Chains A and B, each alone.
Chain A
């Protein structure tokens, strides 16, 4: 019996340059958004995605042909791509938008990713991305991309096993009340949860080597995508400051205070 015609897997990992996890988020003075003049780094969930792609290759070895990372962002996002390349990705795509442009919305990002995936002559078999970005916590892009492409999706993955022979991915998902196991036909969109893995550190020698890896630069115009926001943010404010609690001396005082607050225990 001859060897089965198993196509080599191409893994696609979208990543985002987001506000760093350690930064204390502040609303900007104009109340239109958060202060973005702060430290940025790769979204932690996307780090987990890059790590998972590299681990899949470590497990499947020659069955994985390429790991491509992609980002949509200002020129500074190139640094984020470099970190991913240092972690083990082979090449990158940078869809560059102007520094002054508004942040792309999940639907816009999903449409851009679809255009990029359809452009890949060798096809894409597995898309792994973070379940949400820690600066906007939208958690929509992966699902929207799966909908646009009509591909299977497995979100909040806490364990991923890809079977290139069977052309499926067995994914364990974290859901309320437990774990769910899915078997998804390739191609598949997987979004990562925190407990999937612990990302490796991109050492300085690897970051230097990553400078030699190819980075393709594209614009949204070339892809035929319009990233103009469809939503208008009217106002952003901080939550109201917590008012301090007070101590009561005994149950009678507690009842008196509750009555003051209008809680009488009788139906209105």
Chain B
């Protein structure tokens, strides 16, 4: 039986993914897919399987965040190119 802790984790994950889905390409139906995937796993009882499913959800959250970051950075880089001949990326601080 899913413990209270995993239930809270799943709810928090769903809310977070739902919020992220607002900025996704509409034709992909992020919210629809999100709901179906969660509903498919609603009756999981084995701890290991629950953990695996939650990890998958967290992975998708991180991937989506990375996607948004890259999209934004690429757009801004094009809008505001660097004028200098030195590549600041190699001049990073430790």
Contacts and interface: CB of A to CB of B under 8 A. Distances in A.
Given A21-B72, A159-B93, A174 B65 contact: no
B88 A174 contact: yes
Interface residues of B, number: 23
A44 B91 contact: no
Interface string A138-175: 00000000000000000000110100000000001011
Contact of B84 (A44, A178, A198): A178
A176 interface: yes
A252 B42 CA distance: 74
A158 B85 CA distance: 14
B91 A201 contact: no
A195 B82 contact: yes
Contacts, number: 53
B28 interface: no
Given A159-B91, A201-B69, A22 B86 contact: no
B69 A158 contact: no
Interface string A114-132: 0000000000000000000
Interface of B: 12, 15-16, 19, 65, 68-69, 72-73, 75-77, 79-80, 82-86, 88-89, 91, 93
16 contacts: A21-B76, A22-B75, A44-B72, A172-B91, A174-B83, A174-B84, A177-B84, A177-B85, A178-B86, A194-B77, A194-B80, A195-B88, A201-B65, A204-B16, A204-B19, A205-B12
Instruction: Give the 8 A-B residue pairs with the shortest CB-CB distance, closest first.
Output: A195-B88, A158-B88, A176-B83, A204-B16, A178-B86, A178-B84, A194-B80, A174-B84
